[in-house]
Amino acid sequence: MQTIGEPRTMQAWADATRARGERIALVPTMGALHEGHVALIAEARRRARRVVVSIFVNPIQFDRRDDFARYPRTLEDDAARCAAAGVDVIFAPSPGAMYPDGFQTAVEVSALTEPLCGKVRPGHFRGVTTVVTKLFHAVRPHLAVFGEKDWQQLAVVRRMTADLDFGIEIVGVPTVREADGLALSSRNRRLGPEDREAARCVPRALDAAAEMAATGETRPAMIVARARMEIAAEPRAQLEYAELRDPETLEEVEEATAPALLGVAVWVGGVRLIDNRLLVPVECEGRSARSGRAPDGPPGAVEAERGSARFGRRGPGASEEAERGGAARAPDGPPGSLGGQDR
């Protein structure tokens, strides 16, 4: 495994690798790697001969300076984890290498970036799409792998990649969770013991909403209210948003009679946690909530979600039964569309 810090050096490696006819997979990250990232790397390894993990804490996607300053940076530990996972190259550029003096260009996706996180973090997705574009040009991958925990990010990257004719396959990997259901995130390490316990209200809220949808409730207001109730019951948690959206377009849904995405953002102890759940009505035949079409995503995604609606993909410590329930994988992520860039 080698570490590369300059975009031009990375491009030279990529050109030589492509000339040998070898497929390159990119796993974009901001470091502080965990088992969720390892799952992304494993999927990349399954699909390509060479795997590149980018590690770059992207300053232009943070809307708060203190959040950027506090974001964990653990390059040495990350390198050891990458080596153990069979990564070929770590691309770890400096901010100056990515944004040299005089840099003034941005890449922006419009409608998909407006709701959910885009509504409360102005400029965030412009920073994401700009850095992902630069990573794509540096690594020149055949495919890139992102986590479904950042469902909106994955949808935005898919849209950008299609609109700008990158010719790169975008692969989504289901969220990896702790044994108690909390989605793995680099931000979790900033939670103290009491806040870590309080953070369990997030998966509880998603579970409660999923159970309502599975038993016949179709009114978005009622489903969202149930999720809000779980968050409100935890005094250490502050809800930022809980919304039911079409998984393809991220538009609001009027009735949850087809798979619908429940996205939440919750502050616990000064740490912002995001998560989501694809809610699947029992009678649903795989239609999207807005159009009545099967989502443009993984074959069998609805059945996989039914099997893993409560647990998701589990990390270390999960029971064997939970692991079996959550292992059904939806390889191509959000229809129509970062572990990628962990937010």
Q: What is the set of active-site residues? A: 37
Residue appearing with tokens 């316990």: 197
Say how far apart CA 311 and CA 299 lie, in whole Å. 20
Beta-strand relationship, 24-29 and 313-314: unpaired
Of 144, 27, 42, the C-alpha closest to 91 is 27
Per residue, the 3-state secondary structure of 212-228, as one string, reads: HHHCCCCCHHHHHHHHH
Decide if 205 contacts 224 (C-beta within 8 A). Answer: no
Return the number of other C-beta atoms located less than 10 Å from residue 69's C-beta. 10
Distant-in-sequence, close-in-space partners of 273: CB < 8 Å, separation ≥ 6: 183, 185, 187, 188, 199, 202, 265, 266, 267
Q: How far apart are the first and last CA of the chain?
A: 26
CA dist., res. 342 & res. 28, Å (int): 9
- DSSP per-residue letters across 150-192: GHHHHHHHHHHHHHTT---EEEEEPPEE-TTSPBP-GGGGG--
Contact yes or no for 307/328 (Cβ under 8 A)? yes
Tell me the chain's radius of gyration from C-alpha atoms: 19
Using alpha carbons, select from 170, 106, 154, 93 the residue that is nearest to residue 133: 106
The two three-digit tokens of residue 166, written as one number = 């990158």
Q: Give the span between the Cα atoms of 338 and 146, in whole angstroms.
A: 5
β-sheet bridge partners, residue 24: 50
What residue has token string 């979790």? 188
